[in-house]
Chains A and B, each alone.
Chain A
Amino acid sequence: MTVQPIPEIASTPIRSAAVPLQLPGRKKGRWFQRLWRQGLKHLVLLVMALLFIFPLFWMILTSLKPLPQAVTFPPTWVPHPVLWSNYPKAMASQPFGQYFYHTLVYCVTTVIGVLIASSLVAYGFSRIRWQGRDRVFFVMVATLLLPYIVTLIPLFVLYHHLGWVGSYKPLIVPTFLGSSVYSTFLLRQFFMTIPESLSEAARMDGAKELYIYSRIILPLSKPALAVVALFQFIYAWNDFLGPLIYLNKQSLYPLSLGLNEMLGTYSTNWSWLMAASTVATMPMIILFFLTQKTFIQGITLTGVKG
């Protein structure tokens, strides 16, 4: 595929001396310059990383303090003594095993739903040219624009008539029907960046649309699918309002509601709350760390265009 030069660049006058002079004896200088640039990059990244890790760091620090220290001001930096026992005690204070189980089921099922439904719908909005497509797409996006607060009651009444209240169904089933407009929108954008020529060529070879979807487009979109899956997982993991409204049994509560239970009406054991929150957050951190590689690898395949 010929890369179409972007007009603006072609009109920019060529600048000289953009590259350091390659004189002998300057090798040491160049190596030093590269080291300096690398070092600078690392420094900037490190500072940012520290700033961003700080809240988590503070959370862990608090989780190891005895309660009176957790709430003193000015805050103490080093827990004294380091109460590792906060963790088992916090975990035992609520049925966390149960909470984890429900959260996991909720996350996994909705990720499956979103991956299947949203990719199919996004395909329909991007890889097939049909009349009115973009207008209908806009309608879909527009459904995000009405605050959930007012649709809460009519929707709840509807789910009640279906007999789904008191279970996770109102939260899971819609994802299989493309309810995650966010995911569909995201995938549509990514699908749009895959050249039409790939689809055309396959069509001319007699391939069915579903084949193109599953054998050509999906494999090329692994990173986008990974992002969608990751985001849906994290969203479901932390979803608080949905379970709050639709669940009527404490035995069905997910992690988010369970954590909230630790905010006692009269007083809260902040150390335990932070310990439980840390335990609840760890899987997400690990998940992200493991999956973020997918965003990188495999994308070079898109360079093989046309």
Chain B
Amino acid sequence: MTAARETIGRRSRGSRRRALLAGSAVGAAALMLAACGGGSSSSGGATSGGGPGTTSGGGGGAGGGTIATGNNAASSGKGTVNITWWNMWSGAPATLSKQMAAQYNSSQSKIHVTVLNVPSADGDAKLLSAIAAGDPPDLFTEWNPTIGEDAQTGAIQSFKQFETGKYANIQKWMYPVVADGGLYKGNLYAIPMSMNSEALYYNKSIMKAAGISSPPKTLAQLDADQAKEWKISGSHLEQIGFYPLPTSAGGGDLQTFGPYFGVKGLGYEHGKYDLTSQPGALAEVKWMQSFNKYPYSSISALNAAYGNVAGGAEDPFSMGKQGFTLNGIWEAATNIPASNPAMKNNFGIEPFPAAKGGVAKSGSYINGNYNIIPKGAKHGQQAFQFIAWLAGFDNPGIVNYYPKGGWMPTSPQLAATSTFKAWEKRVPYVKTFVGLMLDKTSQAVPLTPAESEYFTANGVALQNLATKKTSPMAALSYVDKQANAELAKSK
């Protein structure tokens, strides 16, 4: 008992000593924290190579006591402007983005780019916080359907002021459908750096096993062929034929298939969403409805099983469990080699058959990763120059990144370069994808402040269609109603 009391005494004495230590540690810590500026002082510009071992802001504070702003540190070196680029890539494309920035930095000395890869889940929240604080990055690669409302609310800058001198004709330099994806109320607000068009992928061995000799050339043929490829035993889904409806693990949308049914403006025309009045839209939804005979939750489960939800992008097709799919070139160029090399020689690509009988092919839905300049960016001019460089303007070398990134060019001039032609020759399906960029029926989703809502409403309506909870017309009018309500809010 006395031993215990002694121990207590010793402990509390020890605790006083510890308290003192803690107190001084606190004081020291506070001092240290206060001294080490914002941790982002411009010690010669952080390496954009993304390698390990970059010293943390702790000791290297060139601006010791100054209050360092988050991003746009003053220039280091004579006349070099430092700009920051945030994008939401991770993994392989993140590395590519860093390589591009490094290449740009070493090719000239007027502008120095620092890349930050931001987690995609909250990337927009981070960007908006920075804009609110008046200290955003100089450019941001946006792939969420928010550009329209960003432009409407003034969160991003119009490029009009930068389209001068050699950049005066940059819009004409792009594919028309590419420029469309960045125009809001007649002004350019975003220029893409990587594009995507979509084509039909087919699994050769599954096709063979189902007794199909060649890939379908019409939509009706696709419907018939894919029906033979489903393998369902009870509630166990073994193999999917084709499934255009979105599952809760992601999937198709109205805009994805809109071009094949001749849907104009992907639903947006004359200042409002009016899918219900387009016969093409109705035909499209009726066609999608015909697939609700397949088990929705099993398909969701299969898609989710391949990590479709938690950020990964393996999908049933790349894992050899699906006969047909509509996808961009990245599936072939990056997904399959990375996740299932065994599939490499087991797939083929064809233009997706159009709905109208007799028409062999049609343009596709076009989307991409668009670079924007946030409001309050300190070096808009330089950011624009870099954005143009990333898009390939005056920079044919950008094509070297396309095979690794699985990207399509932004301009026909890039498609005409020898590098690109060499890629086309090496990999036959490239031609299919790039041809779609030129097709007059290819469409990008028009930028409106209601784009986000349109996408969300899309997902909900089509999911309901898949679970037999709604009818085609009701689905379309739901999307119209939601999107137009959102439009009204932002006027």
- Which A residues contact B (CB, under 8 angstroms)? 67-68, 71-73, 94-95, 97-98, 101-102, 109, 112-113, 115-116, 152-153, 156-157, 160-169, 172-173, 176, 214-215, 218-219, 240-241, 244-245, 248-252, 257, 260-270, 301
Contact = CB atoms under 8 A, between A and B. Distances in A.
A167 B40 contact: yes
A263 B312 contact: yes
A299 to B, nearest CB: 13
A265 B342 contact: no
B417 to A, nearest CB: 24
Interface string B280-307: 0000000000000000000000100111
Q: Which of B4, B37, B306, B312 has the most CB of A within 10 A?
A: B312
A152 B129 contact: yes
Contacts of B39: 166-168, 249, 252
Interface in B170-190: none
Given A219-B15, A251-B57, A268-B312, 11 more contacts: A68-B342, A71-B339, A98-B53, A163-B68, A166-B38, A167-B36, A250-B46, A250-B54, A251-B55, A252-B39, A261-B90
B12 A267 contact: no
A37 B69 CA distance: 65
Interface string B88-127: 1111111000000000000000000000111110100110
Contacts of B251: none
Contacts of B69: 160, 163, 165-166
A219 B54 contact: no
Contacts of A113: 26
A126 B135 CA distance: 43
Contacts, number: 196
Interface in B26-45: 26, 29-30, 33, 36-40
* CB-CB nearest 10 A-B residue pairs: A264-B91, A95-B52, A163-B67, A160-B133, A167-B39, A263-B311, A251-B54, A268-B312, A166-B40, A156-B129
25 contacts: A71-B306, A95-B53, A153-B132, A156-B129, A157-B129, A168-B39, A173-B30, A244-B122, A249-B39, A249-B56, A250-B54, A251-B56, A261-B91, A261-B119, A264-B92, A264-B313, A265-B90, A265-B120, A266-B91, A266-B406, A267-B335, A268-B91, A268-B311, A268-B312, A301-B4
Contacts of B40: 166-167, 248-249
B57 A245 contact: no
A245 B125 contact: yes
Q: Which of A67, A241, A263, A266 has the most CB of B within 10 A?
A: A266
Contacts of A153: 128-129, 132
Contacts of B119: 240, 244, 257, 260-261
Given A156-B132, A165-B135, A248-B40, A267 B338 contact: yes
Contacts of A164: 38
Given A214-B16, A245-B126, A252-B39, A112 B91 contact: no
B29 A165 contact: no
A152 B125 contact: yes
B70 interface: yes
A98 B50 CA distance: 12
A100 B302 CA distance: 35
A262 B54 contact: no
Contacts of A301: 4, 8
A176 B30 contact: yes
Given A68-B340, A163-B69, A214-B15, A245 B122 contact: yes
B62 interface: no
Contact of A219 (B12, B130, B339): B12
Contacts of B26: 112-113, 116, 176
Contacts of B312: 263-264, 267-268, 270
B423 interface: no
B11 interface: yes
Chain B interface category by residue count: 35 or more
Contacts of B71: 166, 248
B133 A67 contact: no
Q: Which of B39, B305, B310 has the most CB of A within 10 A?
A: B39
B455 interface: no
B74 interface: no
A126 B15 CA distance: 21
A245 B122 CA distance: 8
A190 B132 CA distance: 41
Contacts of B94: 261, 264-265
Given A152-B129, A252-B39, A266 B93 contact: yes
Contact of A112 (B22, B37, B129, B319): B22
Q: Which of B56, B118, B130, B338 has the most CB of A within 10 A?
A: B56
Contacts of B338: 264, 266-267, 269
A270 B319 CA distance: 14
Q: Which of B88, B89, B91 has the most CB of A within 10 A?
A: B91
Contacts of B134: 160
Contacts of B135: 160, 165
B149 interface: no
Contacts of A68: 339-340, 342
B90 A264 contact: yes
A165 to B, nearest CB: 4
B75 interface: no
B334 A266 contact: yes
Nearest to B33: A169
Given A71-B314, A252-B39, A266-B338, A157 B22 contact: no
A173 B34 CA distance: 10
Contact of B25 (A112, A157, A219): A112
Nearest to B312: A268
B51 interface: yes
B57 A249 contact: yes
Contacts of A166: 38-40, 57, 68-71
B162 interface: no
A160 B68 CA distance: 10
B19 interface: yes
Contacts of A214: 12, 15-16, 19
A244 B120 CA distance: 10
B330 interface: yes
Nearest to A155: B129
A160 B70 contact: yes
Contacts of A163: 37-38, 67-69
Given A95-B52, A102-B56, A160-B135, A250 B91 contact: no
A165 B133 contact: yes
A80 B16 CA distance: 56
Contacts of B342: 68
A251 B54 CA distance: 6
Contacts of A267: 91-92, 312-314, 334-335, 338-339
Given A168-B39, A245-B122, A263-B91, A157 B132 contact: yes
Contacts of B52: 94-95, 97-98
